[in-house]
Amino acid sequence: MKSILLTMMLGLLLIGCTQQPDLTFNEMVEKTEFSAKEINEAALFYESNAAKELYQVRSVFEGVKNTTIEVVCTSKGKVVTKVINEPFMEDEVIKLPVKLTLEDAEQLLLDAGYGTGVEGVADWSEVVLRRPLEPGFNFAQYIFTLHSKIHPWSDSVGFVSVDATTGKVTPVGLEGCPCPFKDPCICPEEVTQTTFIPEFDVDYQKCGPNPIVSSGGVSFGTEGNPAAGRVCSKNGYKNISKIEVDIDLSGLQQNDGWSADYLNAAMYLVTSDVQPIGDKYCDAEYEQCDFCNEIDLLETNGNKMFQHTLHLDTIKKGKQRWEVSYTEAANTDCWNWDEMTSSTLGGVHSLVGKIDPTKPFHMVTVFNDDYTNMVITLSQGDSSVKVFDMTDSSVGDGSSLDMSMLKDGMEVGWWFTPSYHGDWSPGDDEPTKWYKDNGGECSHGTLCNYTKDSVEYKGGGWSFSNLVVTAESQL
């Protein structure tokens, strides 16, 4: 699939070497979208690329059942389509049309000092309209390939992106990156990122055996044998760009005599300059500890509903930005299923048919370069769902979050403090008050094993593994 990215430009079919294009770049993109939707009406747009002469564009769309649709449209309006039997995995989906046209972006490129020396002529040879998966790209980008001969400081070709929403011009991968024809220098700082596999200490044990810690993982027990409590990573991590982890909630399945409702499998981080363990523990909500900001990658109500939250404030229970996801496991008499599934609230995501909470799934969290956004994606097999994105709407009160606090926390260090505890779970707070008592029949689950009327009731547990953190450094 790399052949249809930026490096593919050399393979473009050139037609009519001296003719002025009849269609603009964006008009050709529009035609490719129309043709893709004739193949699959739900086709999703990934990228379009073209040579500067704009003889044609080649666009890439998501098809059905993990297929990719390629559509080529010439400047004369001739269209050729092809279906590829493999998924395209390099970009985020873009909603067309974008705010800026190619002509707008080219003018911004020229205004930023990227000219050929000929008045009114910008310095580029190819362009691709895409939103890369890499951190730092919140919106679609026009990524221009520069002529290497114009830049004597570099033997290699460089790239400059123009944000198709904001118009921001940014060098991307310019080797050496001196100031390009203008002050102030707008080259991004080079930051070295390293991959870390966290190790853990047990903070406390609630019941059962201690949580079992391993390299990059922790087990809080299994079905019938809970190991409730909290752990803390041995290190904090500064300037994180990515977190990947495998989650297993299968031990939280409801069974005869036991429910995991109101039991919280919590995968989260807190910011601190020392290891937040024992009397040094801190978070954004619990009144009995010191305050610090918190990132909740995943909190659960059993395996029925998930919540993903940024806590950024200076006080306990301050401002937060959250989104929720629900699974098929919540389709019981104890949940307002119809109300939940018909909700029009922004930030409510259905995992039905996509993520089966009785089986392990993968979670990826990505932060952009300036820490103004956090994106969380869950995946399982060929299915993936984006469950948190600061650029989308939210059901939380976080529209006024001060995102500089996220960046500040990155400079201090974020520590992993996963836990398994009771008392709170998503689905019982307004406006998502979907868990119901149902006349007392929907009792809250019990965290630990217990005996009542000579009947032994068994609890459950959860685990995570393969935790990998990409960050600048660790404490």
CATH of the domain at 266: 2.60.120.200
Same domain, 400 and 265: yes
Residue 10 has pLDDT above 50, yes or no: no
Mean pLDDT confidence for 452-467: 80
Same domain, 10 and 152: no
Same domain, 258 and 380: yes
Q: How many residues does the chain have?
A: 475
Among 14-18, 254-258, 268-272, 423-427, which stretch is predicted with the lowest mean pLDDT?
A: 14-18
What is the C-alpha separation between 397 and 317, in angstroms, rounded? 12
Confidence of residue 361 (pLDDT cuts 50, 70, 90): very high
Same domain, 50 and 81: yes
Tokens for 242? Answer: 């990515």
Confidence of residue 438 (pLDDT cuts 50, 70, 90): low
Among 140-149, 257-266, 298-307, which stretch is predicted with the lowest mean pLDDT?
A: 140-149
Mean pLDDT confidence for 29-45: 95
DSSP type of residue 188 = P
What is the C-alpha separation between 370 and 366, in angstroms, rounded? 12
Same domain, 294 and 315: yes
Confidence of residue 223 (pLDDT cuts 50, 70, 90): confident
Confidence of residue 468 (pLDDT cuts 50, 70, 90): very high
Mean pLDDT confidence for 224-228: 86
Side-chain half-sphere exposure of 128, counting CA atoms within 13 A: 22
Same domain, 86 and 39: yes
pLDDT of res. 225: 82
pLDDT of res. 254: 80
**Count of structural domains, the chain:** 3
Same domain, 239 and 180: no
Report which of residues 253 and 394 the model is more confident about: 253
Same domain, 456 and 311: yes
Convert the pLDDT of each residue in 132-177 to its tens digit.
Answer: 877 667 789 999 887 644 333 333 456 788 999 989 888 765 444 4
Confidence of residue 230 (pLDDT cuts 50, 70, 90): very high
What is the C-alpha separation between 324 and 1, in angstroms, rounded? 33
First to last CA, the chain: 38
Report which of residues 452 and 442 the model is more confident about: 442
pLDDT of res. 154: 39
Same domain, 224 and 178: no
Convert the pLDDT of each residue in 406-423 to its tens digit.
Answer: 999 999 999 999 999 987
Q: DSSP E strands: which ranges in 346-461? A: 348-350, 361-367, 374-380, 383-389, 414-416, 419-422, 450-452, 455-457
Among 113-122, 125-134, 295-304, which stretch is predicted with the lowest mean pLDDT?
A: 113-122
Domain span at 28:
1-97
> Reduced to 3 DSSP states, what percent helix, strand and coil does the chain have, rounded to the nearest 5?
15, 40, 50
Same domain, 219 and 163: no
Mean pLDDT confidence for 430-449: 79
Mean pLDDT confidence for 24-29: 96
pLDDT of res. 428: 81
Residue 328 has pLDDT above 50, yes or no: yes
Same domain, 456 and 308: yes
Contact 170, 186 (CB under 8 A): yes
User: What separation in angstroms does the CA of 265 have from each of 1, 132, 363?
Assistant: 37, 32, 14
Mean pLDDT confidence for 326-347: 91
What sign results for the dihedral spanned by CA atoms 140, 112, 128, 194? negative
Contact 111, 181 (CB under 8 A): no
Q: Which residue blocks in 299-417 are alpha helix, DSSP H?
A: 337-341, 404-412
Among 109-118, 145-154, 324-333, 390-399, which stretch is predicted with the lowest mean pLDDT?
A: 145-154
Considering only CA atoms, which of 142, 230, 218, 208 is closest in space to residue 446? 208
Q: DSSP states of 95-158 as a string?
A: PSSPSS-HHHHHHHHHHTT-B-SSTT-B--SEEEEE-BSSTT--S-EEEEEPPGGG-TT-SS--
Residue 317 has pLDDT above 50, yes or no: yes
Convert the pLDDT of each residue in 369-396 to its tens digit.
Answer: 889 999 999 999 989 999 999 887 666 6
Tell me which H or E stretch contains 33.
Answer: helix 25-39
What sign results for the dihedral spanned by CA atoms 288, 289, 294, 298? negative
Confidence of residue 452 (pLDDT cuts 50, 70, 90): low
Confidence of residue 431 (pLDDT cuts 50, 70, 90): confident
Averaged confidence pLDDT in the chain = 84
pLDDT of res. 78: 93
Choose the final residue of a domain: 174, 190, 206: 190
Long-range contacts of residues 275-281, Cβ cutoff 8 Å, at least 24 apart: 275/201, 275/232, 275/233, 275/234, 275/236, 275/415, 276/232, 276/415, 276/417, 277/201, 277/203, 277/232, 278/203, 281/203, 281/230, 281/232, 281/417
Mean pLDDT confidence for 196-204: 96
pLDDT of res. 6: 37
Same domain, 237 and 175: no
Tokens for 428? Answer: 């019982």
Choose the final residue of a domain: 46, 76, 97: 97
Looking at the chain, the whole-number percentage of residues with pLDDT higher than 70 is 84
pLDDT of res. 171: 76
Geometric angle at alpha carbon 302, from 297 and 307, rounded to 5°: 30
What is the C-alpha separation between 24 and 57, in angstroms, rounded? 10
Convert the pLDDT of each residue in 331-340 to its tens digit.
Answer: 988 899 999 9
* Residues facing residue 231 across a β-bridge: 202
Choose the final residue of a domain: 78, 97, 116: 97
Residue 367 has pLDDT above 90, yes or no: yes
